[in-house]
Amino acid sequence: MNAHRASAPTGGGCPLHDAAFAADPRQVYEKLRAEGAAGAVELAPGIEGTLVVDHGTALQVLRNTELFPRDSRRWRDLVEGRIAADNPLLPMLGYRPNTMFSDGSTHLRLRKAVTDSLAKLNMSRIRRDVEPIADHLLDQFSERGRADLLSDYAKLLPLLLFNKLFGCPADIGDTLTSSMSAIFDGRDPLRANEELTACLMELIALKRRRPGDDITSWLIQHPSGLTDAELNDQLVMMMGAGVEPERNLIGNTLLLMLSSSGGHDSGPQIEEAMDHVLWNATPIANYAAHYPVQDVDFGGHIAEANTPVLISFAGANGDPRLAEARGNQSKGAHLAWGAGPHACPAKDPAQVIASAAIERLLNALPDLSLAVPEQELRWRPGPFHRALVSLPVNFSPSPANRMAAHRPQPAPGEDRQPHAAQRDASGTGGAGGTGSTREPARKKGFWSTFLDVFRA
């Protein structure tokens, strides 16, 4: 890899946005690898970039922040107005003032606040928090004998858990869940983004007044002294960076455990299956967009200055030089969590969440099986993720009574419904505890329904 002065023609990159890529991304990584460490790709129709597929080169790019900054305001096509405001790449690549898009001392300051706050998460508590949420979701479909584990379980569990980890009261949690889902599903994303910002500002104000044992309060209290706007940006980023890949880590691991090679009795154990997925069905497949300060020669392919250079975490994991580590499923060598200064600061909690969610599901529905042949499952198109469209399963129906075990037992003669003051003190209480002015008759969302069931 050499910094290079001359510019070279671009165009004709392998598409990463079409159905063929979603169906078989490996053939694209192999084609690029046959040509060199990196090659030209089309990120969206008409929008070119470079994808690094060689493991060693990926590490060099990820670690060299001077030659490869993250700030996407450098992106030449964007600066020169060739990318429309509604281009589907912008939610993932458009600049936001958060750790992902910052460099140098700004990145250090923001990242320290994020990593120190995430480090306060207690792994046993996460497991304990996952269980009632998993049980609540299981109760919604276990009597049916069939479900789509993506939309009925893997998609909702991280969203609801994040409400808990970020200390959301009922009404804020409802808006957070609905706006995040709308953003991920591309339903009126601009309006959803406004709603998300407003409800996070409300959460920040609440936690400034009344801190709790949650990530939002820890971020606020961090010595970096983040402003409200900075807090908002880091919270959005943590939720975005967490929810979607978490869903896919759960979904892809479940698929492996249920697929013909596995079958969840005879197949791999959860941790083993998760390691296999991190190597071979990497949830964040291609990301870490860098904008080199000058033209760079990747051994034949030239990435021009200020054009996106993405890392293929999935492609690098398939590098033939890693065959032995891959065979042993060695945890250290794969790039599923990124590497360098922007590596995922949440890999431990992320794995605990996924494994607790999978364990609870498999214990509750022991005869779970795929409802369609594995070859009929479809993968969501898009350059960044490795994500199933759906995961239909069948199982023996069972009664929807799991939440009963989580309800606090009232003392003899005591009212079952906790008083408003108790809800308030829990930090996840009803709208009355937030100082919110919202209408009391507001339609209940996922989070307040869960809290209600939990308390009923």
Positions in the binding site for ligand HEM (CB under 6 A): 99-100, 111, 114, 237-238, 241-242, 245-246, 249, 278, 283-284, 287-288, 313, 336-338, 342-346, 349-350, 353
224 neighbors 113 (Cβ within 8 angstroms)? yes
Nearer to ligand HEM, 219 or 296 (CB): 219
Both tokens assigned to 331: 């945890």
What values do phi and psi take at 131, rounded to 5?
-60, -50
Nearer to ligand HEM, 30 or 348 (CB): 348
**CA–CA separation, 196 and 202 (whole Å):** 10
Please state the closest distance from residue 246 (CB atom) to ligand HEM, in A.
Answer: 5
Neighbouring CB atoms inside 10 A of 3's CB total 12
**Residue written as tokens 């021009």?**
304
Please state the closest distance from residue 443 (CB atom) to ligand HEM, in A.
Answer: 28
388 neighbors 251 (Cβ within 8 angstroms)? yes
Please state the closest distance from residue 241 (CB atom) to ligand HEM, in A.
Answer: 4
Neighbouring CB atoms inside 10 A of 2's CB total 10
Please state the closest distance from residue 345 (CB atom) to ligand HEM, in A.
Answer: 5
Nearer to ligand HEM, 386 or 423 (CB): 386
Nearer to ligand HEM, 142 or 280 (CB): 280
Nearer to ligand HEM, 296 or 431 (CB): 296
Nearer to ligand HEM, 100 or 273 (CB): 100
- The one-letter amino acid code at 166 reads F
Nearer to ligand HEM, 138 or 284 (CB): 284
Please state the closest distance from residue 393 (CB atom) to ligand HEM, in A.
Answer: 21
